[in-house]
Amino acid sequence: MTLEPFDRLRAEVDLLGRLLGEAIRAVSGERILALVEEVRHLAKARRQGEEGAGEALGRRVEGLSLAEAEALVRAFTHYFHLVNLAEERHRVRVNRLRAEAETLENPRPEGFLALAKALKERGLSLEEAEAHLNRLELHLTFTAHPTETRRRTLRHHLERLGEELEAGEKERLLARVALLYATEEVRKARPSVEDEIKGGLYYLPTTLWRAIPRVVAGLEAALERVYGRRPRLRSPVRFRSWIGGDRDGNPFVTPEVTAFAARYARQVARERFLQELEALVRDLSLAEARVPVPREVRSGGEGVERFPGEAYRRLFAGLYGRLEREELTTEGLLRAVRLAEGGLEGVGLGPVARAFLRPLEARLTAFGLELAPLDLREESAKLLEAAAELLRAGGVHPDLLSLPPEAQEALLTEELGSARPLLPVGEEPQGEALRVALGSMRAWRDKGAHVVSMTHHPADLLAVFLLAREVGLYRPGRPLPLDVVPLFETLEDLHRAPEVLRRLLGNPVFRTHAQGRGGVEVMIGYSDSNKDAGFLAANLALYEAQEALAQVGREAGLPVFFFHGRGTSTARGGGPAGRAIASLPPRSVGHRLRLTEQGEALADRYAHPDLAVRHLEQLLFHFAQAALGEGREPEPAWREALRGAAEESMGRYRALLGQEGFFPFFEAFTPIREIGELPIASRPVYRHGRVREIRDLRAIPWVMAWTQVRLLLPGWYGLSALEGLPLSLLREMYRGWPFFATTLESAAMALAKADLGVARLYLRLVPEALHPFFHHLAEEYRKTVALLEAIFEAPLLHNQRTLERQIALRNPYVDPINFVQVELLARYRAPGGREDEGVRKALLLSLLGVAAGLRNAG
């Protein structure tokens, strides 16, 4: 009997749960298995409203030994690893069924066929659609994240487990689950940046390597079905990395680490492309006696003694040798592949070219021999400090930092009219800022962009040009060979961003650079703006900043390309990325778009090639249409109403954070201090030294702390300010303004994942005098849920039923981890608790367990 997809999911979850139980019995003993089952039943009974179940669960957890507490957390965390695997497999099955069921008349929503139809309905010919798609560049930028610290060993076991589920071998399944359960979940020491580089790039040479050719082929096939003729497309997807180049606030990203990042990525790419070429030497055994071969293909294999009479084999054997000796560039290899494709197509062997060579061409376009060019990122203050030392050493000015911003810009602009370096020959930098800046630029091989965080003035970016000149990258009157990208993060910086960009594009040095680069890339940060102004005000500020920045670019005659610094949580711009693109301001999306990818989102989107293809398909569906520059502007009355509500929302949010006693409440209620102390990630959680107030804290741990206690406050707090607007107006805005709808639906996701009952457990850690803060947050939560349901005229997740079902299934298994976490926090904070390595380890596991259960924790 063939099971329906959801029944099959349930059956796989049941099977994996039973196998985990057997593994627990074998590795930890019958007593621990009985404890896990007892706690699981109590948690389920509590969720079902059984009287006294919650109190019984709390008493049982408080009486646990440390070994029992750790065992419980490990068991439920491993359960989530297995459930996540089963859900990934379920999504793959559902995706395949939906793909098989689609027709030209009824294409799958957000799919390639739907995109091809939409382009034709907008009046584009095949040639125009082909040209439009070939201009698109979707840059996905992988960044490190503290909640995705699973060892690659665990990922290996989970991948093999998926294969063994497919094969259905019960004994090997049991063995694999036992191996998984018996493996240490996390490293004993804080992960190094090198660890994060290897872990963060994991999906590029694995699942994404397989997915990219399918994306290109899927787009081509869809256009062929709609237009009747197959076009020739290149990969619209590119990859970048921040891991090993993001120095902002991370003292461990040294020039040596930057060099390692580039070296490691190139090594991985080289190995994969060597495998591709080796396979082509094996497969393209066409005999010249039977198939005519172009002279260029024949000459490409000169010097290769093997394979007489087999020109294609000789060509690729020669390329293999040159790549092995590192004598090839991406462009050179791409030219050779296209030459071979043309030769095969010219003699009627187009299917051979499509099957064997087009995948390699797609991978070369998407990855190149660099795999993912590295961005550098540094805070503006550090860059100006480095520039100041250079100017002082060269006798240009004794103290750049003492000048007002306009004078800094003028001085740097004048100095950049010369090609001379400033540091005397043989003299080493005295300051750490200059030493690291110059060292990183010299170590930076495969250049992405140089991102300047906390950009306030044009001088912040001109400092990069001065540093680049010192290492030979800048010449007066020419563009740099890389983008210099301002990052606008706080509310104040977002409001000031259009004027900063206007000044930049009026600056002769930067304007010449932007013209040479074909436009200017601007990064906007979703994390710090949310932490600074609250959810609603930050979202509106980001929307309006993009409108204004795009207009500045139009006035200057240069396109503005946006780089969206989104996180995984809804508080940091997370959620369905395709719908987020659809909700961007009309005419703000050009042919190039960048997004950050990080944390649990990497596993969620890229753990399986089918999932990767579907995610990229959804992104491209929205991006390709948004890049046409059409779209309805919001009604002026809607914008005015939302501005007023956003101002009120920000006032409420800032009043809460600024209220006396709130910061001590936050420290006691959430595990924020522990997130900073435990070995979760290489980057410190504080911007400058110890955290004494909210603004000292980085955005990711701020969001992660609220997620751990199941309140997710940054993803919804302040939205109740909308209650001041007429309900009829709010419903009209929700129906007619995609940005407003996406904002509310993102908040609904956060509210649905929140849980007041679980959050209340953490009050045990808070002095009673501070309890009113929790009661206020609980009231705001209830009020916000009621308001959104009134606007939707439906339940919170009315259009996200799959997520609703996932939350309901997961809650009884996340809850025990929270119960144990509260107990572990109490023990850790007790005298001597921080020195107890067992408590530290169990607490770390609980943090990662909640992240695994909720899946978008920061």
145 is catalytic: yes
Query: What is the number of helices (H) and of strands (E) in the chain?
Result: 37, 8
Tell me if 396 sits within 8 A of 422, measured CB to CB. yes
Beta-carbon contacts of 378 under 8 Å, excluding residues fewer than 6 positions away, are 247, 248, 437, 450, 451, 452, 453
Q: What is the DSSP letter of 690?
A: S
Tell me if 203 sits within 8 A of 239, measured CB to CB. no
The helix or strand, by DSSP H or E, that contains position 605, with its residue range, turns out to be helix 600-606
Q: Write out the two tokens for 31.
A: 């007593």
Tell me if 73 sits within 8 A of 80, measured CB to CB. no
Q: How far apart are the first and last CA of the chain?
A: 42
Considering the candidates 78, 90, 531, 841, report the single residue annotated as catalytic.
Answer: 531
The number of C-alpha atoms within 13 Å of 230 and in the hemisphere containing its C-beta is 10
In the 3-class helix/strand/coil scheme, how is 126-158 assigned residue by residue? HHHHHHHHHHCEEEEEECCCCCCCCCHHHHHHH
Amino acid in the structure at residue 376: L
Q: Write out the two tokens for 804.
A: 């609703």
Amino acid in the structure at residue 830: A
Q: Write out the two tokens for 575.
A: 């959620």
Q: Write out the two tokens for 438.
A: 């110059």
Q: Write out the two tokens for 96.
A: 């395949």
In the 3-class helix/strand/coil scheme, how is 749-814 assigned residue by residue? HHHHHCCHHHHHHHHHHCCHHHHHHHHHHHHHHHHHHHHHHHHHCCCCCCCCHHHHHHHHHHHHHH
- The owner of tokens 């509590």 is 46
**∠ Cα 585 587 591 (to 5°):** 115
Q: What are phi and psi of 484, to 5 degrees?
A: -110, 115
Q: Write out the two tokens for 813.
A: 């298994």
The whole-angstrom separation of Cα 517 and Cα 71 is 55
Long-range contacts of 256-261, Cβ-Cβ distance < 8 Å, separation of 24 or more:
256/443, 257/193, 257/194, 257/197, 258/374, 258/376, 258/439, 258/440, 258/443, 258/444, 259/443, 259/445, 260/194, 260/197, 261/193, 261/197, 261/374
Tell me if 683 sits within 8 A of 129, measured CB to CB. no
The whole-angstrom separation of Cα 395 and Cα 642 is 53
Q: Write out the two tokens for 394.
A: 């060269």
Considering the candidates 78, 145, 608, 622, report the single residue annotated as catalytic.
Answer: 145
Q: How many CB atoms are located within 10 Å of the residue 688 CB?
A: 10
Q: Write out the two tokens for 330.
A: 């991406």
Active-site residues: which are they?
A: 145, 531
